[in-house]
């Protein structure tokens, strides 16, 4: 036993020592999810979303909207193309804009 363990033992109870000596579970390594993630709603997919509309919120990007709608942000251009009458650039969307979310064709 080293000096640090001796000092630690002098100031902590046995129960506290056992609690702090327990290994910390890393959710990435162990494959478990933290409680907040375990209860989160699974990502929506095109099969569950279908065609629809979405009102842009502050902080949104087409990538984020695509990620929410299709489960994959890389389909953001599909949303942009469906809204070319409203959007001039995929980088310029404004809160309050009503975007058409087209059905994703995975064929």
What are the pLDDT digits (tens) for 4-35? 677 667 766 666 656 555 555 554 554 554 55
Regarding whether 90 and 73 lie in a shared domain, the answer is yes
Number of domains the chain contains: 2
pLDDT of residue 13: 62
* Helix runs in 12-70, H state only: 14-21, 27-30, 35-38, 46-49, 62-70
**Residue 92 to residue 106: CA distance in whole angstroms:** 27
What is the arithmetic mean of pLDDT over 72-95? 96
Regarding whether 58 and 28 lie in a shared domain, the answer is no
Regarding whether 51 and 33 lie in a shared domain, the answer is no
Q: Which residues, at least 6 apart from 11, have a Cβ–Cβ distance to it below 8 Å?
A: none
């Amino acid at each position: 036993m080293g000096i640090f363990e001796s000092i630690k033992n002098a100031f902590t109870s046995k129960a506290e020592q056992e609690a702090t000596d327990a290994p910390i579970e890393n959710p990435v390594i162990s494959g478990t999810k933290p409680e907040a993630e375990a209860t989160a709603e699974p990502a929506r997919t095109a099969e569950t979303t279908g065609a629809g509309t979405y009102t842009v919120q502050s902080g949104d990007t087409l990538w984020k909207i695509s990620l929410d709608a299709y489960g994959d942000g890389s389909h953001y251009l599909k949303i942009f193309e469906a809204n070319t009458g409203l959007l001039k650039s995929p980088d310029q969307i404004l809160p309050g804009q009503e975007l058409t979310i087209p059905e994703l064709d995975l064929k």
